[in-house]
């Protein structure tokens, strides 16, 4: 079935002699691949989803959880754009909590503990039942091109699939290697097969590669734990949902437990640290800064006398418990010894050892803001293959890459998101403009406009942008319109000025707030720290009860009104730079006035705008000013500018 050959230009020749013709081939069926394939098929493209193992569709090889700080924002954005992760998580979660409730709403983030087996089954069923989508097991090994554009995918099993676009969502499987102490095995995560040739196929197309490392902790038998020695962690009631279609959930929840490392734990680890694959020199790949191994934590945070460890269930039909916070590449005997030093785990039995995994991934600066490879039309990449970590980052990229692959085939404008529009916009901009020297993790601190990009307003920010994709159902859009109407009505009512009567005076006194001496707007009263909407409702008959969602929204808008306005002004100031386009054919090496490093970096990245140019490492504000001058005068005057500055 394979009949491809090389011509004189080192480009594969299309000679396909079977009926395996698709519009788009998606390679990899993890969280990125699932979102990419579903979006392509739902947008009318005949799609093939190719995976190394059908049992790994939507697999959670590491933490059996979705969401978390910053990550919960991404799940809400996936849902707002018509993706699947939020709906699947709501269907199969066993605990939900809102994190950071003691802080401002900008950093409130949902996190759900999942039943990992049910999640896999739920996602696989969605894929299998989707029209225009074929799920198949096989290993992609080579790309075919015609005229520099993607035209097919070959598999190691000898099949050739013709296609006009491909989305690579290979996760951590490319030439991956598992390490536990001195033990090493060429394998994907959780004992699955690895991809042997896909990274070579990407390199053949000119896509630059790098090598990263991540890891996972041991799993222990829950029947051997003493839960009375640990702190119980229950979920939130009422239970919030990821999907804007679900509101609040009614669900029986399963507890997690909290314990801590101690001096004995640290002694066991430090006495054996040279036996760790990380510290013995067996790993040369770059590890993640924000999810370090337990041995790395002890070295980097030597002043801490203990670290939090969460014991989390892997599902309702298993006794396996995930030991969050103890990712490790220490030998098995050391893992068992260190676990048994902690409260609640003195008699624990280890069911699966923790391990480190190193793997090939790409340098994401080869991508543009569509997640397409700049120099290979029709080729898109998404997920951990782009140097990120986490299910949520992967799924968000997969959705965007899938949408843009489908739009590319339709000849429509791509969907791109700015840093002021979405966490996904920040994620893609960081990857494609700055690159990442280590596994990238989304955090609220990466987002400069996080008060505008809260998780509660993701649908208002993004759903209208996805309307043209066809991924937004009539039900979803109608719910959004109703939500907007409720908020606008409530805000209009709060715009009313009220006199300082006795009832208001008493309320302010009771709440420890200063009493207004003249007429005041209800919205301004709601800005007071100790005043809630229900307080105003008890005093003013002109107000009506609100549903919980609208009530939370108007309180947020009031309490943070000044900060929100400042961020909006900041967005407007920066928008001019984002909208100042740079010609794609500029030869920056010929531009006098720029420093040599800036010329080289700009020529490599070819930024689309002044704003993007300013975010490239090595491009200074002075360089940006030079570019602005050229934009005003025209780049044809470049060689007439003064000599390069020191």
0.75 exceeded by the pTM? Answer: yes
- Compute the radius of gyration of the chain from its Cα atoms: 27
Work out the mean pLDDT of the chain and round it to a whole number: 93
Cis peptide before 244 (omega within 30 of 0): no
**pLDDT tens digits for range 507-551:** 999 999 999 999 999 999 999 999 999 999 999 989 999 999 999
Classify domain 580-640 by CATH number: 1.10.150.570
What integer pLDDT is reported at residue 43 of this predicted model? 98
What integer pLDDT is reported at residue 288 of this predicted model? 75
**pLDDT tens digits for range 290-320:** 778 999 999 999 999 999 999 999 999 999 9
pLDDT band per the 50, 70, 90 thresholds, residue 637:
low
Q: Strand 12-13 and strand 5-6: pairing? A: antiparallel
The torsion defined by the Cα of 404, 406, 408 and 414, in degrees rounded to 10, comes to -30
* Contact between residue 462 and residue 476 where contact means Cβ atoms under 8 Å apart: no
Spell out the domain ranges in the chain.
Answer: 21-212+361-469, 219-358, 484-567, 580-640
3-class SS of residue 375: coil
The torsion defined by the Cα of 281, 283, 288 and 289, in degrees rounded to 10, comes to 10
Of 466-475, 489-498, 597-606, the least confident: 597-606
What integer pLDDT is reported at residue 636 of this predicted model? 57
Average pLDDT over residues 53-67: 96
Question: Given a cut of 90, is residue 36 above it in pLDDT?
Answer: yes
pLDDT band per the 50, 70, 90 thresholds, residue 19:
low
Q: Going by CATH, does the domain composed of 21-212+361-469 fall within 3.50.50.60?
A: yes
Question: Given a cut of 50, is residue 14 above it in pLDDT?
Answer: no
Q: At what angle do helices 332-339 and 263-271 cross, to 10 degrees?
A: 170
CA 62, CA 59: separation in Å to the nearest integer? 9
Instruction: Identify the sign of the CA torsion 369, 373, 375, 378.
Output: negative
Question: Given a cut of 90, is residue 260 above it in pLDDT?
Answer: yes
C-alpha distance from residue 546 to each of 464, 479, 553, 615 (Å):
25, 16, 10, 43
Question: Given a cut of 50, is residue 44 above it in pLDDT?
Answer: yes
Residue 85 token pair: 């992760």
Classify domain 219-358 by CATH number: 2.40.30.260
CA 67, CA 616: separation in Å to the nearest integer? 29
* Rounded percentage of the chain residues whose pLDDT exceeds 70: 95
What integer pLDDT is reported at residue 585 of this predicted model? 85
Candidates 188, 209, 195, 210; CA nearest to 153 is 195
Q: Strand 47-51 and strand 133-137: pairing? A: parallel
CA 167, CA 404: separation in Å to the nearest integer? 10
**pLDDT tens digits for range 94-112:** 999 999 999 999 999 999 9
Average pLDDT over residues 390-410: 98
What integer pLDDT is reported at residue 279 of this predicted model? 87
28-59: burial string, b at 16+ Cβ within 10 Å, e else: bbbbbbbbbbbbbbbbebbbbbbbbeeebbbb
Q: In this structure, what DSSP letter does residue 234 have?
A: P
What integer pLDDT is reported at residue 278 of this predicted model? 85
Candidates 94, 140, 93, 119; CA nearest to 34 is 119
- What is the distance in angstroms between the CA of the first residue and the CA of the last residue of the chain? 60
Average pLDDT over residues 356-378: 97
* Contact between residue 181 and residue 293 where contact means Cβ atoms under 8 Å apart: no
The domain defined by 484-567 folds into Arc Repressor Mutant, subunit A (1.10.10)
């Amino acid at each position: 079935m394979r009949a491809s050959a090389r011509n004189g230009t080192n480009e594969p020749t299309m000679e396909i002699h079977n009926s395996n013709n698709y519009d788009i081939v998606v390679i990899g069926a993890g969280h990125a691949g699932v979102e990419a394939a579903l979006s392509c098929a739902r947008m009318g493209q005949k799609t093939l989803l190719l995976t190394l193992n059908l049992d790994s569709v939507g697999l959670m090889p590491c933490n059996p959880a979705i969401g978390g700080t910053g990550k919960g924002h991404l799940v809400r954005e996936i849902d707002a754009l018509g993706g699947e992760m939020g709906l699947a998580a709501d269907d199969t979660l066993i605990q939900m909590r809102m994190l950071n409730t003691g802080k401002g709403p900008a950093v409130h983030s949902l996190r759900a503990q999942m039943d990992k087996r049910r999640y896999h089954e739920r996602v696989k069923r969605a894929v299998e039942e989707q029209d225009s989508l074929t799920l198949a097991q096989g290993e992609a090994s080579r790309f075919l091109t015609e005229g520099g554009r993607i035209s097919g995918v070959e598999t190691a099993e000898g099949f050739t699939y013709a296609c006009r676009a491909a989305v690579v969502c290979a996760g951590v499987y490319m030439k991956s290697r598992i390490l536990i102490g001195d033990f090493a095995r060429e394998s994907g995560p959780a004992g699955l097969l690895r991809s042997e040739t896909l990274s070579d196929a990407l390199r053949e197309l000119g896509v630059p590669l790098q090598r990263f490392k991540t890891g996972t902790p041991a799993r222990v038998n829950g029947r051997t734990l003493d839960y009375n020695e640990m702190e119980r962690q229950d979920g939130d009631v009422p239970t919030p949902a990821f999907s804007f279609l679900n509101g609040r959930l009614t669900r029986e929840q399963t507890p997690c437990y909290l314990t801590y490392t101690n001096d004995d734990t640290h002694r066991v680890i430090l006495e054996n640290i040279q036996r760790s694959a990380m510290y013995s020199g067996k790993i040369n790949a770059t590890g993640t800064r924000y999810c370090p191994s337990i041995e790395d934590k002890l070295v980097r945070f030597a002043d801490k006398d203990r670290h939090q460890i969460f014991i989390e269930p892997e599902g309702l039909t298993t006794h396996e418990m995930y030991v969050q916070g103890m990712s490790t590449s220490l030998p098995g005997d050391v893992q068992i010894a260190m676990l048994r030093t902690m409260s609640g785990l003195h008699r624990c039995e280890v069911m699966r050892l923790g391990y480190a995994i190193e793997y090939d991934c790409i340098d994401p600066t080869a991508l543009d803001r569509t997640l397409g490879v700049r120099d290979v039309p029709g080729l898109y990449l998404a997920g951990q293959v782009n140097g990120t970590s986490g299910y949520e980052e992967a799924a968000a990229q997969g959705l965007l890459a899938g949408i843009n692959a489908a739009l590319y085939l339709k000849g429509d404008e791509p969907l791109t998101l700015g840093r002021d529009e979405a966490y996904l916009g920040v994620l893609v901009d960081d990857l494609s403009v700055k690159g990442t020297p280590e596994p990238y993790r989304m955090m609220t601190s990466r987002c400069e406009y996080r008060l505008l990009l809260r998780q509660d307003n993701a649908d208002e920010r993004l759903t209208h942008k996805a309307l043209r994709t066809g991924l937004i159902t009539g039900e979803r859009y109608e719910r959004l319109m109703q939500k907007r109407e409720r908020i606008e009505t409530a805000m209009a009512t709060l715009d009313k000025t009220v006199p300082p009567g006795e009832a208001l005076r008493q309320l302010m006194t009771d709440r420890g707030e200063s009493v207004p001496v003249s007429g005041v707007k209800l919205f301004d009263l709601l800005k007071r720290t100790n005043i809630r909407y229900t307080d105003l409702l008890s005093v003013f008959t002109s107000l009506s009860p609100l549903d919980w969602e609208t009530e939370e929204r108007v309180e947020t808008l009031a309490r943070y009104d000044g900060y929100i306005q400042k961020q909006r002004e900041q967005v407007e100031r920066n928008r001019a730079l984002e909208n100042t386009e740079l010609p794609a054919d500029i030869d920056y090496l010929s531009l006098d006035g720029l420093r040599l490093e800036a010329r080289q970096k700009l020529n490599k990245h070819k930024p689309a705008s002044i704003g993007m140019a300013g975010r490239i490492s090595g491009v200074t504000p002075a360089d940006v000013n030079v570019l602005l001058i050229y934009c005003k005068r025209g780049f044809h005057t470049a060689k007439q500018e003064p000599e390069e500055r020191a």
